[in-house]
Chain A
Amino acid sequence: MIPTIAEAGRLIAARKLSPVELMQACLGRVDRLDSRLHAFIRPDAEGALAAARAAEARIMKDGAKGPLDGIPIAHKDIYCTAGVPTTAHSKVLIDHVPEEDSVVVAKWAAAGAISLGKLATHEFAFGGPSFDLPWPPVRNPWNPAHFTAGSSSGTAAAVASGMILGGTGSDTGGSIRGPAALCGIAGIKPTYGRASRRGVLPLAQSLDHTGPMAWTAEDCAILLQAMAGYDPQDPASADVPVPDYTAMLNSGVKGRVVGLLRHMHESDNPVSAATLKGINDAAGTFRALGAEVHDVTLPSLAEFNACGWVLLLAEAFAVHETWMRERPQDYGKYMRERLVLGAALSAADYMQAQKRRLELIARSFAATQGVDFLLTAAAPSEAPKIEDVPQWGFLGPPGFTMPFNVTGWPGITLCSGFGAGGLPVGLQLVAKPWQEAPLFAAAHAYEQATEWRKRRPAMTEETA
């Protein structure tokens, strides 16, 4: 039985669960499973176990600091870690050893979370799944022949398989919410400006978000609580109060209004039967819990994706311009060729996208007056086989996550069932800026009313 963070935190605080035994269980799953999943690129079993022993001694003496004290977590390898290589899964940064922790790494450590090491990602949170990088691509714990989505692929696989109870992700066009959907876990992209990006390797700064991934919405609330807050050294960070997310967790959805973005998942990019059933069943669940559900129309997925991807490609090339000129061969093929698209965009193209972005945001606010949450897909279907993932997939049918990178609104992915192949499908629930607390409450109410959190990948049941 793999506990959630909330469960483990309560037991540790009551001195009924040993942080050392919890860590040993997670490390045991790393030993048994990660040769098939490749979620970790740099595990640190010895360091994690030593930290768990120290935490246990401290907790037995002084009590737990909070719900993350002694909890096994890990970080996507774009989060800088002092003295530990931070490579972005790339040959380009193979020797990069930061001198300081990123803000989020430091905050989670201060809350008592214990890192098992660094997790795989698509190269620089963009290029993947790739087979020409220093580490292989991550495999899906529900079926290792299948894709995890990306770019927070290692975090999603490690959480789903119980190697960690939570971890960091980043989301520029869906890199938290996409892998959360395909791996059957929860993941939130908070409001733009909610959590610091300082010390996290950038992809596209006007779209980049940091956020947590875990088994449940409640666990994401606990993790976001420990990473949110104003950082004057992150130019996008907002000086906005951070509410107590867990205090509101049981407030439910009675009286709330859910806007069903039917056009997105039925006509803009029609989803699989299982994904559609998950969304429609969720709408029924919210109604049964006392919410009002009605259709809402936003600008099309194509408009949002066109705008977002032009911004992303242009900004990403600006980050990588020097390396692309001097050492393009050190990138994997997917990352290198995607950056070439950004190189070919003009300043006028970029400004057109920025102008369109403001218009899309204004239209989104206008279309959602009186609406608390928006409901649509997080991914079009269950995970495809990894060899069937096209190089230019992001230029194909428009995705469901980019709209909320363009607007900066918070969005959470939840597991909403399983497809014909036995892999999970996900839904996406979105709120207005800074409304993460009611969003967590709605997500928690949905998870409590459904059965999906009771099922783990079969490989986690294997014994040593």
Chain B
Amino acid sequence: MPPSTAEDFHARVRQAGLPLSLAETAAILPAWQKLEDWLELIRTPAIPATAEPATTFKAAS
């Protein structure tokens, strides 16, 4: 996926309820774009037909 634009990122932040201006979020955009690279790295390609395993992490179990 192409990296987010400043407007895309600002919309995400506003949707989370944070009262930041476009200029304020634009300053953080390069960091967000790096995080998007990481999201691509960990994203699994498809949803398997079978039930997913539990995703609540507890090393003790």
- In the bound complex, residues from chain A placing their C-beta under 8 Å from that of B22 are none
Q: Kindly identify which residue among B13, B38, B52, B55 contacts A340, using a CB–CB cutoff of 8 Å.
A: B13
Bound CA–CA A408/B39 (angstroms): 21
Least CB distance from B17 to A in Å reads 5
Q: Kindly identify which residue among A309, A325, A341 contacts B32, using a CB–CB cutoff of 8 Å.
A: A341
Report whether A341 and B16 are in contact in the complex, using a CB–CB cutoff of 8 Å: no
Within 8 A of A (CB), among B25-43: 25, 27-28, 30-32, 34-35, 38-39, 41-43
Q: Kindly identify which residue among B16, B18, B44, B58 contacts A352, using a CB–CB cutoff of 8 Å.
A: B44
Bound CA–CA A328/B28 (angstroms): 15
Shortest Cβ distance from B52 into A: residue: A355
Within 8 A of A (CB), among B44-61: 44, 52-53, 55, 57-60
Within 8 A of B (CB), among A139-198: 191-193
Report whether A357 and B57 are in contact in the complex, using a CB–CB cutoff of 8 Å: yes
- In the complex, whether B20 has a CB less than 8 A from a CB of chain A is yes
Report whether B38 and A341 are in contact in the complex, using a CB–CB cutoff of 8 Å: no
Bound CA–CA A317/B12 (angstroms): 14
- In the complex, whether B2 has a CB less than 8 A from a CB of chain A is no
- In the complex, whether A54 has a CB less than 8 A from a CB of chain B is no
Q: Kindly identify which residue among A325, A346, A392, A433 contacts B59, using a CB–CB cutoff of 8 Å.
A: A433
Q: In the complex, how many residues of chain A place their beta carbon closer than 8 angstroms to a beta carbon of chain B?
A: 44
Least CB distance from A453 to B in Å reads 31
Report whether B57 and A354 are in contact in the complex, using a CB–CB cutoff of 8 Å: yes
Name, among A310, A344, A353, the residue most crowded by chain B CB atoms within 10 Å (CB to CB): A344
Q: What sequence of 0s and 1s flags, for each residue 293-323 of chain A, a beta carbon within 8 Å of any chain B beta carbon?
A: 0000000001101110110010001000100
Q: In the complex, how many residues of chain B place their beta carbon closer than 8 angstroms to a beta carbon of chain A?
A: 29
Report whether B55 and A351 are in contact in the complex, using a CB–CB cutoff of 8 Å: yes
Name, among B19, B34, B60, the residue most crowded by chain A CB atoms within 10 Å (CB to CB): B60
- In the complex, whether A288 has a CB less than 8 A from a CB of chain B is no
Report whether B41 and A302 are in contact in the complex, using a CB–CB cutoff of 8 Å: yes
- In the complex, whether A94 has a CB less than 8 A from a CB of chain B is no
Q: What sequence of 0s and 1s flags, for each residue 1-25 of chain B, a beta carbon within 8 Å of any chain A beta carbon?
A: 0000000010011001111100001
Q: Kindly identify which residue among A310, A392, A433 contacts B39, using a CB–CB cutoff of 8 Å.
A: A310
Please name 14 pairs of A and B residues whose Cβ atoms are closer than 8 Å in the assembled complex, sorted by A.
Answer: A191-B59, A192-B58, A193-B58, A239-B60, A303-B41, A305-B38, A310-B38, A310-B42, A337-B28, A340-B25, A354-B55, A355-B44, A355-B52, A409-B59
Binding site for A on B (CB under 8 A): 9, 12-13, 16-20, 25, 27-28, 30-32, 34-35, 38-39, 41-44, 52-53, 55, 57-60
The 9 closest A-B CB pairs, nearest first, are A238-B60, A408-B59, A306-B38, A343-B16, A193-B60, A192-B59, A354-B55, A344-B12, A356-B42
